[in-house]
Amino acid sequence: MKKRGFALSVLLLLAGLGWSQDIATWKAQAAEGNIGAQYNLGLAYSQGLGLAPDPKEAARWFRLAADQGFAPAAASLGLMYFKGEGVPVDHAEAVRLFRIGAEGGDAFAQLCMGISYANGDQVPQDPAESARWMRLSAIQGNPSAQLNLGNALAAGNGVSVSYAEAGAWWYAAALQGHPKAKANLSNLGLWRKVATKGDPGIQCWLGFSQLLNGDGKAGFTTLVKAAEGGYVHAQAMLGAAYYEGSLPGYTLKKDLAESARWCRLAAEQGDAASQYNLGMAYVQGEGVDKDPTQALAWLLKAASQHYVDAYYNLGAGLLMAAQQENSDAGLRAEILVKAYMFMSLAGDKDKTEEGRAQARDALAKIAIKMTPDQVAEGQRQASFYGR
């Protein structure tokens, strides 16, 4: 179930759609001061996609976009100054640019600011400020920031000690394949040492560590206790486990009703994945009766937290609804704009090439049914909704 996005999800555009035509267009737009086109050219020159690699040209185009305050360009140029690619090594300039990017909301630049404050590189060493930037980046899904924030929470470095929250951030990073985060979760000795009677958060990660270390029965029992204690991540894990019929290293009987029950408990606490899973349960009638109204409500809740699969399925569902709407042209147009918005967001946020390709194809199917003005409105709404 996946995705595609809007103009500034650039590597996607470079990865398969007539590079030479895109680059010719970008050059013309960039010469007129279009920051998106300038950034796209910087990426093309830095990655050697559609153009011969040229770090100096990449830096030039990134600078033009960064000077207009475009956060991703500032982050990219900052990294070039940090590494000395296309420009002289200059850590002071790198950190200045990282700050511009970070304050503009770029997750990588926020990570870099967190590292700078942790190390005292061109700024005073400040663990609390480091943790603040790491948290902002982690919330946007950067796995290195998630790992580092978890480490800070475990050590009480700039933040109050919280092993339960540390485990949650390590888990988020591990889901993206970060090996150090998985190693921390697998450290059974750590979790046994910090286990606090009655703390469902720590019980959750103790149980998960037991699962990772091959003690499935004990891990499952501990995880259930944590879920029954109200810990949202344990509830979310059980919701998924009962749907799949498995946890890491442990098999259990599939039970769609039990899956929906745990998903609901986690969803009501704001867990985006559980909101999505519960919404899809209502779509499919899995463990609950089919209910389009409930499905839409839960998928919208997940989408409001930028959950990519919710974007995609909302876009696909709205396209189907538009195709079935023949009596009211105005309503059909409004539905298509929303379908375009959600599918565009799906592609913009998706981190997999497969997902981007699927969303690109779906977006083309939506756009062909729309006027240019409707497409422009879909893009505008995607830009606003995705903030």
Cβ atoms 138, 145 nearer than 8 A:
yes
Model confidence at 81, pLDDT cuts 50, 70, 90, reads very high
**Range 218-235 average pLDDT:** 97
pLDDT tens per residue, range 36-59? 889 989 999 998 878 899 999 999
For residue 141, pLDDT over 80 is answered with yes
First to last CA, the chain: 23
Where does a domain end: 305, 327, 353? 305
For residue 312, pLDDT over 70 is answered with yes
* 381 shares a domain with 362: yes
Residue 179 pLDDT: 97
343: tokens are: 């599918």
In a domain, 127, yes or no: no
**Residue closest to 252 by CA, chosen among 206, 202, 211:** 211
Give the type of residue at 228: E
Where does a domain end: 275, 305, 335? 305
Model confidence at 16, pLDDT cuts 50, 70, 90, reads very low
In a domain, 297, yes or no: yes
In a domain, 327, yes or no: yes
368: tokens are: 């062909």
Global pTM? 0.85
Residues 6+ positions from 59 with CB-CB distance below 8 Å: 42, 77, 80, 85, 86, 87
Which segments of the chain are extended strands (E)?
Answer: 246-247, 250-251
For residue 338, pLDDT over 90 is answered with yes
Q: Which domain holds residue 379?
A: 307-387
Secondary-structure percent of the chain, ordered helix, strand, coil, rounded to 5: 75, 0, 25
* 196 shares a domain with 239: yes
Q: For residue 250, what are the β-bridge partners?
A: 247
Q: Share the mean pLDDT of the chain.
A: 91
Residue 383 pLDDT: 82
In a domain, 26, yes or no: no
Instruction: Give dist(CA 90, CA 69) in Å, integer.
Output: 20
For residue 174, pLDDT over 50 is answered with yes
* 214 shares a domain with 270: yes
Number of domains present in the structure of the chain: 2
Neighbouring C-alpha atoms within 13 Å toward the C-beta of 360: 16
**Range 319-325 average pLDDT:** 87
Where does a domain end: 305, 333, 351? 305
* 348 shares a domain with 300: no
In a domain, 229, yes or no: yes
